């Protein structure tokens, strides 16, 4: 049998698609893919690069400035002077000219170094903000990853409920055929079955949307589906004290705010030095193509002192703005440190409560299963009602749902605690 080219290509695509859907996908794989391919991080990665260019631009002030110029002047009449009653031409009517000039600031009372320090502190702050955003994306990946695992368990619980309701309906139908129960039992089962199927549709849709979110965060194709590991976990950290000071040295957000304070201090220092003079040196080479001059090439050197006398209060405004910007940066740092302490305490509480919820729901599941078994047997023996059986089935599904949510909420809370401690 020979395959047509189109059919062969279709078979290959189906095999590849099947392989892609069944590929193992661990949590570490997702985090690595997000770091490399997340659309937002790839865009933000340009900011540290551009900040380094700002540093290079600021450092360039340490070197001399060299300017060159050339030109050609055409005049209606040459410039002339009257000497002893006689007119003497001082230059040709048309002439070429050019020159080189080197300027170098010898000392400016720290203005140049303050500008460099500000650029470097700003670059460090931008890098720390990028790291903070990368950590945020990692936390989102962890939340979505465990959200998918939770969604899969909830879908399975919804399917089990449908199976249980279908079994109960068959039993109710059999008892109705025997004339033991009324048609109301069948109608109750049909209504509850429709509700269970609607829940399954809703949970499947939620699961698909969560997959789309994970694919966006990791830069994968929207249709990609992998085999997630149900054994993935985040190491717990419950031994660190509330408001752990070590987190203030690890959190990239705090490092960025501290560098912001450094940049503001350098800005204030630069604005204050604007009131002070600058000492500079100048080297120049001037050339004029003028037949009237004996020396057409002139070299010169000089040292000068430059100071601003009045600029419309622009320097004063810049100093006041820098001082207020420093105060704002310090307030932001204090706010950030307080927020980190709040995040640590909140995440630790969530982790503790999620563990307690798991213990409670584990017991409740066993009790709900036994409750369903008893009511099922009572209905079989015609001493119980259909409503009791259906309520027991709903109770078991709800208990399993609570358990799975607590189970994965604990993993997310552990990840949030690690992030709060600067360890994610």
pLDDT confidence of residue 7? 46
pLDDT confidence of residue 233? 66
In sign, the C-alpha dihedral spanning 310, 313, 315, 319 is: positive
pLDDT confidence of residue 8? 41
Among 135-139, 164-168, 290-294, name the one with the lowest average pLDDT: 290-294
In a domain, 112, yes or no: yes
Strands (E), 208-314: 227-228, 278-288, 297-306
- Assigned token pair, 416: 């949030």
CATH number at residue 110: 1.20.1600.10
Cβ 100 vs Cβ 284: under 8 Å = yes
The overall average pLDDT reported for the chain is: 88
With residue 101 as reference, give the H or E element that holds it: strand 94-107
Helix (H, G, I), strand (E, B), or coil: what is residue 170?
Answer: helix
Cβ 215 vs Cβ 221: under 8 Å = yes
pLDDT confidence of residue 49? 95
Please give the tally of structural domains in the chain.
1
**Could you give phi then psi for residue 295, rounded to 5 degrees?**
-105, 110
3-state helix, strand, coil in the chain (%, to 5): 65, 15, 20
In a domain, 56, yes or no: no
pLDDT at position 180 over 70: yes
What confidence tier does 340 reach under pLDDT thresholds 50, 70, 90? very high
Which has more pLDDT, 79 or 337? 337
pLDDT confidence of residue 179? 85
Which domain does 209 fall in, by range?
65-72+90-420
Residue holding tokens 């430059």? 306
> pLDDT tens-digit profile of 257-286?
999 999 999 999 999 998 889 999 999 999
Alpha carbon of 290 to those of 15, 72, 88, 298: distances in Å?
Answer: 84, 11, 14, 12
Residue holding tokens 């392989």? 19
CA distance 100 to 118: 32
pLDDT confidence of residue 267? 93
pLDDT confidence of residue 234? 67
- Assigned token pair, 161: 């409920």
> pLDDT tens-digit profile of 376-401?
899 888 888 889 999 999 999 999 99
Give the DSSP letter string of 200-243: HHHHHHHHHHHHHHHHHHHT--TT---EE-TT-------SSPTT
> pLDDT tens-digit profile of 196-221?
999 999 999 999 999 999 999 999 99
CA distance 349 to 273: 50
**Residue 102's beta-bridge partner residues?**
66, 283
Number of other CB atoms surrounding residue 419 within 10 Å: 22
pLDDT at position 17 over 80: no
pLDDT at position 309 over 60: yes
CA distance 259 to 262: 5
pLDDT confidence of residue 260? 95
- Assigned token pair, 224: 């990609």
pLDDT confidence of residue 238? 47
> pLDDT tens-digit profile of 47-78?
999 999 999 999 999 999 999 999 998 888 88
Which has more pLDDT, 5 or 21? 21
In a domain, 36, yes or no: no
pLDDT at position 370 over 90: yes
pLDDT at position 21 over 60: no
What confidence tier does 145 reach under pLDDT thresholds 50, 70, 90? very high
CA distance 351 to 415: 9
What confidence tier does 9 reach under pLDDT thresholds 50, 70, 90? very low
- Assigned token pair, 220: 């994968």
In a domain, 322, yes or no: yes
pLDDT at position 5 over 50: no
Burial class (CB in 10 A: 0-12, 13-18, 19+), 241: exposed
- Assigned token pair, 177: 């055929």
pLDDT confidence of residue 357? 94
Overall average pLDDT of the 80-101 stretch: 85
pLDDT at position 134 over 70: yes
CA distance 293 to 288: 9
What confidence tier does 236 reach under pLDDT thresholds 50, 70, 90? low
pLDDT at position 249 over 80: yes
pLDDT confidence of residue 6? 40
In a domain, 196, yes or no: yes
pLDDT confidence of residue 13? 41
**Percentage of the chain lying above the pLDDT 90 cut:** 70
In a domain, 409, yes or no: yes
Cβ 214 vs Cβ 122: under 8 Å = no
- Assigned token pair, 293: 């001059």
In a domain, 15, yes or no: no
pLDDT confidence of residue 150? 94
What confidence tier does 11 reach under pLDDT thresholds 50, 70, 90? very low
In a domain, 32, yes or no: no
Helix (H, G, I), strand (E, B), or coil: what is residue 98?
Answer: strand
Q: Kindly report the CA angle at 163 between 158 and 165, in degrees rounded to 5?
A: 95
């Amino acid at each position: 049998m020979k395959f047509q080219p189109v059919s062969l290509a279709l078979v290959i695509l189906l095999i590849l698609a099947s392989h892609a859907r069944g590929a193992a996908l661990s949590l570490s794989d997702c985090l690595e893919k997000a770091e490399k391919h997340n659309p937002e991080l790839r865009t933000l990665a340009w900011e540290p690069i551009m900040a380094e260019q700002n540093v290079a631009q600021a450092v360039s002030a340490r070197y001399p400035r060299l300017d060159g110029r050339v030109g050609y002047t055409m005049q209606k009449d040459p410039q002339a002077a009257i000497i002893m009653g006689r007119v003497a031409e001082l230059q040709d009517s048309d002439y070429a000219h050019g020159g080189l000039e080197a300027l170098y600031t010898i000392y400016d009372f720290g203005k140049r170094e303050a500008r460099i320090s500000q650029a470097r502190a700003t670059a460090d702050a931008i890098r720390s903000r990028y790291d903070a955003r990368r950590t945020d994306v990692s936390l989102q990946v962890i939340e979505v990853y465990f959200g998918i695992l939770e969604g899969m368990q909830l879908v399975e619980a919804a399917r089990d409920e449908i199976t249980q309701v279908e079994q109960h309906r068959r039993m109710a139908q059999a008892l109705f055929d025997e004339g033991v129960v009324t048609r109301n039992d069948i109608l109750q089962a049909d209504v509850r079955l429709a509700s269970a199927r609607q829940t399954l549709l809703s949970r499947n849709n939620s699961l698909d949307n969560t997959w789309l979110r994970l694919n966006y965060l990791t830069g994968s194709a929207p249709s990609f589906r992998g085999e997630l590991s149900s054994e993935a976990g985040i190491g717990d950290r419950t031994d660190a004290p509330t408001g752990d000071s070590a987190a203030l040295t690890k959190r990239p957000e705090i490092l960025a705010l501290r560098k912001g304070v450094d940049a503001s201090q350098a800005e204030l220092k630069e604005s204050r030095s604007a009131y002070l003079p600058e000492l500079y040196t100048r080297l120049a080479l001037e050339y004029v193509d003028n037949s009237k001059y004996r020396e057409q090439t002139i070299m010169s050197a000089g040292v000068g002192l430059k100071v601003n006398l009045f600029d419309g209060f622009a320097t004063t405004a810049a100093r006041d703005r820098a001082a207020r910007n420093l105060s704002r940066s310090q307030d932001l740092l204090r706010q950030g440190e307080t927020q980190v302490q709040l995040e640590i305490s909140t995440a630790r509480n969530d982790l503790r409560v999620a563990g307690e919820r798991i213990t409670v729901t584990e017991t409740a599941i066993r009790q709900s299963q036994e409750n369903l078994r008893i009511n099922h047997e009572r209905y079989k023996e015609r001493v119980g009602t259909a409503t009791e059986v259906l309520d027991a089935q709903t109770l078991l599904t709800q208990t399993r749902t609570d358990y799975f949510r607590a189970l994965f909420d604990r993993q997310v809370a552990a990840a949030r605690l690690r992030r709060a401690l600067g360890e994610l």
